[in-house]
Structure 1
Amino acid sequence: MSPSRPLEFARSTEKEPHLERARAILRAHPEIKDLCGPTPITALFVLLLVGGQVAIAWALRDSPWWALLATAWLVGAFIDHGLWVLIHECTHNLVFRSPRLNAVLQLFTNLPILFPAAASFRKYHLIHHRFQGDPELDADLATPFEAKLIGNSFWGKAFWELNFWAFQAMRVSRLKRIPLVDGWYIANFAIQIAFIAGVWAVLGPRALVYMFLASIFAIGLHPLGARWIQEHFLVKAPQETYSYYGPLNWVAFNVGYHNEHHDVMRVPWTRLPKVRQLAPEFYDTLHYHTSWTALWLKFLFDPSLSLYSRMTRTGGSGDGTVRAEDSAKAA
């Protein structure tokens, strides 16, 4: 195997790094605990972004196809990416104190994204934190078939980015220890079908096409899509989680602070930068990114960076037992 073109995943015998680092950080800086807790104002941003995306779709309902494409890439992708981040906030119960209210808001946040993803994300994402890198439990990892199919070429990786939503949906089939369907999943699916039908009936097919394009660009084939590369792709092994400290954090609700988030999950987006400010000795020594655009281009054109550029392990930070709370039950 050529080191410049990896053909298999990296492998670690260590536990995932965040649990032990979190303990060290909180021992050195117990004041960081004061940053934890929900931020209800996040719900206002949800309303603004959902309303804004629907309003843009209405404005474009009779527009030419080039206008739909351009607006989706230049504007809509940023809105949908923001909605993804706010779904993530709801997943960690960082908007309201009630898990049920967070789950309900999460379903509302999902509306303009079209794909019914909020309920399944709520379940699989928290397990990703505890079992980072475990192929049997971490939905953030590509399957070996997916990695081999996409390969190291520009065209393969561009195809993957354009269809990331589909590949992500297919990954859950390998996570056999985690039940997919529950009441929240069914509600999420039904609400999205009703929303899509309503948009088609009231605003027309072009409005729906705009929303679909914005959803695709928000997670791939766009500089914003580099966020999924930034978080855990190995650009400086053996470090396996990376933060982004660039200007797009201003419109991405500080989601770039990914090491900080994995270390102290109960800190909301409004206070994540403060974690780094209070504990610089833990973060300034880690490799980090300053440009999603540069990373996006590197991923597309550099054959040394591919879906194989991930660290894998068995067991994550625990003993391999999936607890009820790990599956993020909302009730």
Structure 2
Amino acid sequence: MLIVAYFFGSFLNHNLFLAIHELSHNLAFSTPSHNRWLGIFANLPIGVPMSVTFQKYHLEHHRFQGVDGVDMDIPSHAEAHAVKNAVTKSVWVVFQLFFYAFRPLFLKPKPPGIWELINLLVQVAADASMVCFCGWKSLGYLILSTFVGGGMHPMAGHFISEHYVFAPGQETYSYYGPLNLMTWSVGVT
């Protein structure tokens, strides 16, 4: 199951992460609620509700890029100081989604709103239906695909190239290779 999740499901789930990113900017429909509903639908194969919460924090990322404690898309100073060598960097990349998901809860928690409740209820209903009709392994496969697609995976490389500074004065790096077919060309700046 891990091999199929890595070479198939992770590509698809990461593609859905990026679709949710575009929907968080209301780029599919002119009505924000339609974008939220499509984001909730795109969220279903990811296995955990994240679409609405992602939008709430991600829009601040664009308003306050690089501001520690406000921009939740980048590692905090504490994370940066803890991750200093190849071993800790590798562990951080493997668990990158967990850091990304839990960072706001520790640094800048916001109360959940009605849309997050809707996202949660729709996701739980879909997950329960999947387990009921297809078994626990099917849900495990989706969550494993999400985990590996957001960690040490070629598709997740854009997280690093777009959000972390390697050379002073150059905040992002562009990518023009074939993975752009699966990433909505997010690596092209």
Aligned partner of 1:107 in structure 2 is 40
What is the Cα deviation at residue 210 of structure 1? 1.1
**Unaligned 5+ runs, structure 1:** 1-67, 260-331
Q: 1:118 to 1:148 in 2, by over 3 A?
A: same
5+ residue gaps, structure 2, are: none
For residue 182 of structure 1, what is the aligned residue in structure 2? 113
| Aligned residue type for 1:127 | E
Offset from partner CA, 1:235-286 (integer Å, 9 cap, x none): 23211122222221012111112x4xxxxxxxxxxxxxxxxxxxxxxxxxxx
Shift of 1:170: 1.7
**How many percent identity over aligned positions?**
37
The partner residue of 1:244 within 167, 175, 181 is 175
The match for 1:159 is 91
Structure 2 residue matching 1:244: 3-state secondary structure: coil
Paired residues of 2:74 and 2:163 also in contact (CA < 8 A): no
The question of whether the paired residues in 2 share the 8 Å contact of 1:161 and 1:225 is answered with no
SS in structure 1 at match of 2:58: helix
Residue 206 (structure 1) aligned with residue 137 (structure 2) = yes
Q: SS of the residue aligned with 2:49?
A: coil
**Cα distance in structure 2, aligned partners of 1:87 and 1:212:** 16
Give the deviation of 1:188 after TM superposition.
1.2
CA RMSD of aligned residues (A): 1.5
* Whole-angstrom distance in 2 between the partners of 1:143 and 1:251: 29
Q: Does 2:164 align with 1:233?
A: yes
Residue 9 (structure 2) aligned to one of 61, 70, 76? 76
The size of the alignment, in residue pairs, is 188
User: Residue 128 of structure 1 aligns with which residue?
Assistant: 61
Instruction: Report the Cα offset of residue 159 of structure 1.
Output: 2.0
CA contact (8 A) 2:175 2:187 kept: yes
Whether 2:79 is the aligned partner of 1:172: answer no
Could you say which structure has the higher helix fraction? 2
Matched, 1:98 2:7: no
| Larger of the two Rg values belongs to structure | 1
What is residue 150 of structure 2 aligned with on the other side? 219
Scaled by the length of structure 1, the TM-score of the pair is 0.54
* Structure 1 outlier segments of 4+, above 3 Å: none
Say which SS state the counterpart of residue 22 (structure 2) adopts: helix
Query: Which residue does 2:51 correspond to in 1?
Result: 118
